[in-house]
Amino acid sequence: MLRVNILLISTVFIFTGCGDSTSVHNQGKDCVSCHSSFDSGVTIFNSLNASDRNATDTANGYKVRLVLDDGNTISYVKGRGDGNLYWKGDEGTINDFTVEILDENGKIVNKSRENSHNVGRLRCNSCHTQDGLNNAPGRVVSYDYNQLLSNIIAK
Ligand code: HEC
Ligand code: HEC
């Protein structure tokens, strides 16, 4: 019994003692619904059907880039909570765009279809829910979901 207690205490210590190392903050929820100062927010997951506020299935260290149809790009900054990112900026320049997910070395690991997203699609997690809404396949993920990248290499 004593041993179990010690284990429990040390586990709690690991999770609370290391600051932001396992950080839960509304993962998978629509960021802009609470953060009206953000123009966009998203959570990157390792699993397509991860549940809301599931911090263990988040993909950390990834980047989000919107490639606009005029060739300009928009980069997101790390948010509070594992896997969370957001962007504040000038929405007026956005028309259609392609989303790219990059790993920490800047390699593209996943992307949406070409110009399939637009300025009305900035509340990422509102469609990229656990089961997906409005034809979204589920979460925004850190792997080549549509196999668009492997097709490019194969051609
Ligand atoms: C249910 C409401 C809610 C949702 C949804 C939410 N947040 Fe927050 N967030 C808060 C609150 C409240 C705070 C302030 C907490 C504090 O100051 O300790 C906060 C703080 C933050 C902060 C630090 C303060 C700031 O404004 O820079 C960041 C960054 C952040 N959230 C990012 C996100 C991202 C990214 C998402 C979406 C994945 C998100 N939040 C979803 C309520 C929410
Ligand atoms: C109105 C609903 C909707 C919104 C909002 C939305 N998406 Fe999507 N997303 C889709 C649909 C539908 C697909 C599948 C077709 C495609 O690839 O465009 C998709 C596919 C993706 C993919 C590839 C598949 C996957 O799940 O990883 C990524 C990456 C992506 N979206 C990122 C984003 C990001 C980042 C945002 C916010 C800037 C966003 N989406 C907002 C509907 C949406």
Q: Whose CA is nearest to atom 24 of ligand 1?
A: 80
Whether 47 maps to a domain, the answer reads: yes
Whether 7 maps to a domain, the answer reads: no
For residue 14, the CA-to-ligand 1 centroid distance in Å is 23
35 ligand 1 Cβ < 6 A: yes
Whether 149 maps to a domain, the answer reads: yes
Total number of domains in the chain: 1
Whether 54 maps to a domain, the answer reads: yes
Do 89 and 39 form a contact (C-beta atoms < 8 A)? yes
Render each residue's pLDDT in the chain as its tens digit; 155 residues. Answer: 445 444 444 444 444 444 445 699 999 999 999 999 999 999 999 999 999 999 999 999 999 999 999 999 999 999 999 999 999 999 999 999 999 999 999 999 999 999 999 999 999 999 999 999 999 999 999 999 988 887 655 44
pLDDT at 150: 76
Domain containing residue 100:
23-154
- Coil, helix or strand for 44? strand
> CB within 8 A of 38, min separation 6: which ones?
31, 32, 86, 87, 88
Ligand 2 atom, smallest distance to 133 CA: 2
Whether 131 maps to a domain, the answer reads: yes
| The pTM of the whole model exceeds 0.85 | yes
Whether 50 maps to a domain, the answer reads: yes
Residue 54 CA to residue 72 CA, distance in Å, equals: 33
Query: End-to-end alpha-carbon separation of the chain, Å?
Result: 62
